[in-house]
Amino acid sequence: MVRVVAGLGNPGAEYDETRHNIGYAILDCVAGRRGALWREQRWCKAAVAETNFGPAEGPRVPVWLLKPRTYMNHSGDALQAFCRDRGFNPEEILVVLDDVALPVGQLRVRKNGSSGGHNGLESIEERFGTREYPRMRCGVGAPRQDGALADFVLDRFRPEESPMVEDMIDRGSRAIEMACTLGLTAAMNEFNRRNDTGGGRI
């Protein structure tokens, strides 16, 4: 089961609401829905919030939400430090990140996979030495042919994209709750449908 959910992004107000920080936004939504409080932890260079998940009737287990403060290219440093201290294995981590290969609003939950050139995932793979950890890719669209990728992901969403982004944040938070409660397979079956905008209610 998922014990750690890491939302990738960059620290600092200048990066708020950018495409690269969709992982932060979704974890903020989860924390808000569950009344979990963020605390800056210098020892692992991350903001950490603790909550718990479980079936309506049955045991509940603690789950940690984590936002690395190391900047995207060094996300693995913070995640490895936290998991090594708490004794968590890669397969217990769900990483939430932006994906330019997916249209705005589309989600893809996977149990493993390649980095796809994403600097945050490359850092995590380097630190853990494996690709065998779950991830949820969140579609942020692709730049125009003449646009630079780095500039695109560090830019904010266009006003006309806002409804799709807000919906993705809501569905992403519910996908995390389902993954932590019923397992990754349940979340994959419910939220990986291409144009889902209303499923996944738990």
Catalytic residues: 20
DSSP 8-state class, residue 90: G
Q: How distant is the alpha carbon of residue 58 from its chain centre?
A: 26
How far apart are the C-alpha atoms of 18 and 183, rounded to whole Å? 29
User: Minimal CA–CA distance to 119: which of 142, 86, 146, 153?
Assistant: 153
170: left (phi > 0), else alpha (psi -120 to 50), else beta?
alpha
